[in-house]
């Protein structure tokens, strides 16, 4: 499988940084467009290289990069740093933007080997790739097609039980993607194990016929940092990112929200907050 297009003059920088990390035995995983190309065979232009590390390794990585003459920044302390050179940059990722997916030892335990940029490296596991991409549902970016392509290409090697465990209490998100997969590829829907669809279908049936939670929560903020702001800012819903499901703090949420208007961030339509009544429970029809 080939490399993504668009590496251009940045390729030597990428290689030099990765070789430095390998020489100093700092573990990393390749993700982003490079990892996606390795797993699916789909190549597309990319403006950067994504690597994944444990958060505790950031300071050491930043020091090694500085010793090589590169500039570093901890862009968002809860999940993302960057390494800059004159010809490009590397995203250094240690969590997801919603705080659900901190990189830990299990990522490295299940990481496959691959050749990227002529180097022997380890890739972000396909289960983690599906898990993190499954929650990206912004107005300007939806990674559902990536999830479908990963399932299509890797179904026989996916540890489906492990994938289910990664999604944990957010199994509805996984089910949504699996249902869409059967719609996108009706002839390949049997690539998803029957037991998994049966189990998730049974969970859905049981939950549908059980009482709804008493507290008004909005989990949409786990899917989009912008599109559900009216719900938590004006409509009285609790932001689940500030609960035990996420590693984010109030400050993390504020900084991540403020960056929506950053010109270097993906563009999105402005959010207009209008007053709305406190949410009321609707009675289920008999």
| pTM summary value | 0.90
**Domains in the chain, CATH or no CATH each:** 8-124 (3.30.460.40), 144-208 (no CATH), 214-279 (no CATH)
Q: Considering only residues 280 and 68, tell me which one the structure prediction assigns the higher pLDDT.
A: 68
- Tokens 């830990």 label which residue? 104
d(CA 286, CA 281): 15
| DSSP alpha helix (H) spans, the chain | 11-23, 32-40, 58-67, 105-109, 126-133, 144-154, 160-167, 171-184, 194-208, 229-233, 250-258
**Whole-Å CA distances, 161 to 79, 134, 143, 156:** 26, 16, 22, 13
Q: What is the mean pLDDT of the chain?
A: 91
CA 62: distance to chain centroid?
Answer: 22
Please count the residues of the chain: 286
Beta-strand relationship, 217-218 and 71-76: unpaired
Nearest by Cα to 55 from 112, 96, 12: 96
What CA–CA distance (Å, rounded) separates 63 from 92?
Answer: 13
Categorize the per-residue pLDDT at 5 as very low, low, confident or very high, splitting at 50, 70 and 90.
low
CA distance 115 to 124: 13
pLDDT confidence bin for 215, thresholds 50/70/90: confident
Q: Mean per-residue pLDDT for 195-223?
A: 96
Which range (1-10, 147-156, 183-192, 249-258) has the least confidence?
1-10
Q: Mean pLDDT across the stretch 80-97?
A: 97
The answer on pLDDT for 274 being more than 70 is no
């Amino acid at each position: 499988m080939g490399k993504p297009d668009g590496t251009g003059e940045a390729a030597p920088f990428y290689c030099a940084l990765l070789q430095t990390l390998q020489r100093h035995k700092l573990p990393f995983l390749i993700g982003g467009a490079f990892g996606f190309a390795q797993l699916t065979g789909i190549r597309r232009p990319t403006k950067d290289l994504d690597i994944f590390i444990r958060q505790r390794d950031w300071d050491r990585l930043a020091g090694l990069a500085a010793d090589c003459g590169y500039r570093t920044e901890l862009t968002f302390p809860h999940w993302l740093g960057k390494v800059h050179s004159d010809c490009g940059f590397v995203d250094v990722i240690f969590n997801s933007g919603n705080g659900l997916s901190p990189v830990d030892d299990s990522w490295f335990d299940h990481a496959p080997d691959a050749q990227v940029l002529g180097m022997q490296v380890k890739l972000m596991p396909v289960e983690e790739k599906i898990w993190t991409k499954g929650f990206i549902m912004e107005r300007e970016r939806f990674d559902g097609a990536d999830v479908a392509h990963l399932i299509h290409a890797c179904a026989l090697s996916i540890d489906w039980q492990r994938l289910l465990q990664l999604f944990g209490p957010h199994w509805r998100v996984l089910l949504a993607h699996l249902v869409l997969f059967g719609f996108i590829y009706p002839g390949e829907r049997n690539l998803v194990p029957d037991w998994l669809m049966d189990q998730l279908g049974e969970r859905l049936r049981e939950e549908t016929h059980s009482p709804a939670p008493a507290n008004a929560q909005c989990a949409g903020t786990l899917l989009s940092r912008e599109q559900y702001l009216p719900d938590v800012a004006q409509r009285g819903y609790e932001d689940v990112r500030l609960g035990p499901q996420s590693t984010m703090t109030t400050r993390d949420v504020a900084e991540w929200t403020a960056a929506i208007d950053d010109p270097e961030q993906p563009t999105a339509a402005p959010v207009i907050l209008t007053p709305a009544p406190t949410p009321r429970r609707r009675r289920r029809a008999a």
